[in-house]
């Protein structure tokens, strides 16, 4: 790093000798709620066909053919054991929902976030979503889940510099504050 210009909000760096730019770790892969809501609008109205982008058109065609709308939610079903819900919400919302799901199911059950399509999949997901609606699931439940699952903590804090030096209880608190704040 050569210089930091605070007024211009720029960092000047030297070129690397290998010709590869330095890698800066950030949360840039997180998608906002606004982008996902626009995805839903494009899908619902069919406006994605006017974007002149074959890859985007293929992705939206896949979503349109694979999803069905029921009781206010978009559902994906590839067979009876793999059911998913498409939230059309941002990455942080989806991670929070996945943590809520994992905190109330058994240890061996697999639930996953496929963030590209804003899709959470897992066994008997409709029943689990109903449980989340009916039961009073608190952040204490999520904290207890995280306390039992060091791997989940690692995955959620890996991009935070020096987070591995922070005690487990503070990392859990950071996760709860970061993913469950409004």
pLDDT in tens, 42-75: 888 988 888 888 998 998 888 888 888 887 788 9
Q: Other CB atoms closer than 10 Å to residue 138's CB: what's the count?
A: 11
Domain ranges, residue 112: 70-137
List the CATH number of the domain containing 80: 3.30.70
What's the total number of domains in the chain?
1
Residue 37 included in any domain: no
Give the 3-state secondary structure of residue 152: helix
In a domain, 21, yes or no: no
Q: Is residue 85 part of a domain?
A: yes
**Whole-structure pTM value:** 0.76
Q: Contact 74/62 with Cβ under 8 angstroms?
A: no
Taking the mean position of all CA atoms in its chain, how far away is CA 36?
11
In 12-40, which positions are buried (b, 16+ CB within 10 angstroms) versus exposed (e)?
eeeeeeeeeeeeeeeeeeebeeeebeebb
- What is the predicted pLDDT for the residue at 25? 44
Greater pLDDT, 97 or 81? 97
Would you tell me how many other CB atoms lie within 10 Å of the CB of residue 44?
13
Q: Note whether residue 116 is domain-resident.
A: yes
């Amino acid at each position: 790093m050569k210089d930091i210009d605070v007024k211009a909000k720029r960092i000047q760096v030297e070129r690397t000798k290998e010709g590869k730019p330095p890698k800066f770790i950030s949360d840039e892969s997180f998608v906002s709620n606004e982008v996902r809501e626009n995805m839903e609008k494009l899908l619902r109205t069919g406006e994605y066909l006017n974007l002149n982008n074959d890859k985007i058109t293929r992705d939206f065609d896949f979503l349109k053919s694979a999803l069905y709308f029921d009781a206010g939610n978009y559902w994906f079903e590839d067979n009876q054991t793999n059911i998913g819900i498409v939230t059309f919400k941002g990455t942080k919302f989806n991670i929070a929902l996945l943590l809520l799901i994992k905190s109330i199911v058994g240890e061996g059950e697999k639930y996953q976030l496929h963030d590209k399509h804003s899709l959470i999949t897992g066994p008997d997901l409709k029943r689990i979503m109903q449980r989340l609606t009916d039961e009073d699931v608190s952040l204490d439940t999520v904290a207890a889940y995280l306390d039992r699952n060091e791997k989940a903590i690692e995955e959620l804090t890996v991009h935070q510099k020096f987070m591995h030096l922070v005690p487990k209880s503070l990392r859990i608190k950071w996760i709860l504050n970061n993913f469950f704040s409004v």
